[in-house]
A and B are shown apart, each in its own frame.
Chain A
Amino acid sequence: MSSLNAAIRDSSVVAGRNLRNVIRTPGAMVTSVAQPVMFVLLLAFVFGGTLGGDQYRRFLIGGILAQTLTFNASFTAVYLAKDLQLGLIDRFRSLPMSRGAVILGRSSADLVTSLLSIAVTLLCGLTIGWRINNGPGPALLALGLLLLFTFAVSWVGAVIALTARSVEVAQSLGLIWLFPVTFISGAFVSVQSMPGPLRAFAEWNPVTAVATAVRKLFGNAAPQGFPAPSGWPAENALLYALMCCVAIIVVFAPLAISQYVRISKR
């Protein structure tokens, strides 16, 4: 029990430090604000006209949320790699603090950045016609799912940082997987239109599950021309999304912590 208390206290000390860093580096937050705005505008008005107009714009928001929050994993990767490069991780590792606290403190602080991204995306959505159609209960559940998802992917970011060990490598490694993972999904289109192997990947992609579940919870239907997706993950999107989040945490959190324990700068 006391070790759990210590872990929580250490993590919150590290998270507090990270939040101060975020607040004092407003420039770094521009990306997490500008990127969802950019993608909303790009997809709503460049692609949106062809893909279903107003209906597509309402459909789009769930996908943007899933995509933006996946991208936030790269912040975790870059910040952690920076601490590593500056020798701060060495100092932390020489302190009698609990082993997971540095990464837990990181991913908790990154939740705040993600909340900002979510708020910006939803505000953008409101201006282009997106609405909550299912009432506040499911909407709050959607928010909870999004936060759980961003928390889960930030452990992936942590593994990337601890593998990369330098900011430059973390930056490129942290971005390279994001495009295929977020675009080979049902975030922006119907997975039914994709050829065989891509479709299988997209159907089981956690990004698809999160986007689909969030749309259902907000009550945002797909445009009429979109072929309805079928199969277990599509029919049980919320359950599958939750399972994905748990699975990502179960795999990547122990991996990140064991890397942290063993990592050394040289």
Chain B
Amino acid sequence: MIRVRGLCKNFGGFRALDDLNLDVAPGQVLGLLGPNGAGKTTTVRVLTTLLAPDAGEVTVAGHNVLTDPESVRRSIGLSGQYAAVDEKLTGYENLVMVGRLYGMNRKSSAVRAAELLDEFRLSDVAGKRAGAYSGGMRRRLDLAGAIVARPEVVVLDEPTTGLDPRGRLDTWAVISSLVSAGTTVLLTTQYLEEADQLADNIAVIDAGRVIAEGTADELKSRVGSERIDIVVARPEGVDRAAAILAGIASAAPEVDRQARKVSVAAPDGHHMLVRALGELEDAGLQVVEAALRRPTLDDVFLQLTGQRARDHASPTPTDSPTAGASQDREVLKA
């Protein structure tokens, strides 16, 4: 449904997209995952005919973005990075306007607007100006605008950036319902857990090219086994803890001095955790937290790019809705 081959785009001397390739099958959700500046928004802008590519071939729903942009526009719905709603218009008026501009007549755009406001739980505020909406409500209104004409392909650029946890969960629910209706979706995100939650396939992009592709599980399996996280009480203990873990594990541990955290791959899970805790105690190190967890996409990103995704973007622990993450975790308070 979306096919991108050898896509390049330069801005002045800056190579925003560098031989990017993507495929999205009908009814599939592709998560385009990468830090700020990786080229996610530029990709979205090319796919939605807002920006002409310098090189490469891009087709959306069978139409070439350069030679037949009009048909592309007819087949897509876009929800951009900033909720593009008219603040002076009511939610209802916003959707009717979009429907009319898709070529729907007065009556069917009115019916469709009411239907969507209901579906997106905005009926109560349908007659209020969008300027008075909360961030989450504006986002939902913007998403509703993207699907007014029931497009075959929906493109969502960072649909939850800037939302509070509640707004993010709401938006996730809306996107999930879209997906269950069989729409092809391409969504960009800097949040690893978001791609994990919503996407069938994930393309990790960095510096304008795809550096890894696959399902969340496939990407995780690249990083390998479960991991042990140890947090020690004192900063001086970090190096000794790392040395002890290095002695037990086969791979070199990662050290986060600021968090006083050492983490390492643990092929035999529980046994290694128990052994590690025993050795740490023998060494007289006070352990504040010890956890055994499945690898996250954060680990994937670190593995692929050599840097943490949160070096670029910083979803703080408090605002990242780790729904389901607690099941992945066994936390032992020491």
- Please list the residues of chain A having a beta carbon within 8 angstroms of any beta carbon in chain B: 6, 9-10, 13-14, 16-17, 20-21, 24-25, 86-88, 90-97, 101, 262, 264, 266
Contacts and interface: CB of A to CB of B under 8 A. Distances in A.
B93 A20 contact: yes
Interface stretch (B23-31, B45-53, B273-281): B45-53
B82 A87 contact: yes
Q: Which of B45, B50, B74, B78 has the most CB of A within 10 A?
A: B50
B49 A87 contact: no
Interface stretch (B94-102, B173-181, B210-218, B228-236): B94-102
A10 B101 contact: yes
B78 A94 contact: yes
Nearest to A102: B101
Interface string B75-101: 010101111101011000100011011
Nearest to B11: A266
Dominant secondary structure at the A interface: helix
A13 B45 CA distance: 25
Contact of B80 (A14, A91, A95, A101): A91
A17 B49 contact: no
B86 A88 contact: yes
A95 B79 CA distance: 11
B115 interface: no
B260 interface: no
A91 B129 contact: no
A95 to B, nearest CB: 5
A86 B100 contact: no
Interface in B19-49: 41, 45, 48-49
Contact of B89 (A20, A92, A94): A20
A264 B45 contact: yes
B70 interface: yes
Contacts of B74: 96
A17 B89 CA distance: 8
A25 B131 CA distance: 12
Contact of A97 (B76, B82, B89, B101): B101
B73 interface: yes
A10 B80 CA distance: 21
A87 B87 CA distance: 12
Contacts of B50: 90, 93-94, 264
Given A17-B97, A88-B84, A97-B103, 15 more contacts: A20-B93, A21-B86, A21-B89, A24-B129, A87-B80, A87-B82, A90-B50, A90-B78, A90-B84, A91-B84, A96-B103, A97-B101, A262-B52, A264-B50, A264-B51
Contacts of B103: 6, 96-97
A264 B50 CA distance: 7
A94 B148 CA distance: 13
A9 B104 CA distance: 11
Contacts of B80: 87, 90-91
18 contacts: A6-B103, A10-B100, A10-B101, A21-B88, A24-B88, A88-B86, A91-B84, A92-B101, A94-B48, A94-B49, A94-B50, A94-B73, A96-B73, A96-B101, A97-B102, A264-B51, A266-B11, A266-B41
B145 interface: yes
Of B48, B84, B89, B129, the most chain A CB neighbours within 10 A belong to B84
Contacts of A95: 73, 98, 101-102
Contacts of B48: 94
